[in-house]
Amino acid sequence: MNLYLVRHAEAKHGAEESERGLSEKGAADMEKVARFAAGEGVKVGLILHSGKTRAKETAEVMGRHLKPEKGVEESDALTPDDDPWVWAERVSDREEDLMLVGHMPYMEGLASLLVAGDINGKVVEFRMGSIVSLRRDCGKWSVAWMVTPGVVG
């Protein structure tokens, strides 16, 4: 199974926290990253996001390029202060490739928990608009690759 963890792109400043949408730069960065992912053959059955506007808009950009069969939906347990153990358990026996779009420090915590078994292990540094591809083989997770807007820019 492949699990793609995406940190939302740069958001506008000044709006209420949960309502902050992507800035022009953030939207442009996500377009670049999404085009790259599609060009590399990333396929997911579903894209899930936290429901916060910046995560939703990031997920929608990814969805336009990756065209997941089951679409793009809001999910619980993906906000900045949620417990990464929830999704660690949900993906432990999942077979279908999945993309989760969320926030810091959640994304780093989930990646660290899956790969190193420690929420605070920090196996990758998530930049805004980045994708980390994790692969599960024989029950063990590893980092397959990571891309940031600056790499594909």
Average pLDDT estimate for 36-40: 97
Tell me, what's the pLDDT at 33? Answer: 98
pTM: 0.96
Task: Write the pLDDT tens digit of every residue in 58-76.
Answer: 999 999 999 999 999 999 9
> Does residue 51 come out as left (phi exceeding 0), alpha (psi in the -120 to 50 range) or beta?
left
According to DSSP H, which parts of 46-92 are helical? 53-66, 85-90
Question: Does residue 44 surpass a pLDDT of 90?
Answer: yes
At 17, the pLDDT band (50, 70, 90 cuts) reads: low
Tell me which CATH code domain 2-152 carries.
Answer: 3.40.50.1240
Average pLDDT estimate for 121-134: 95
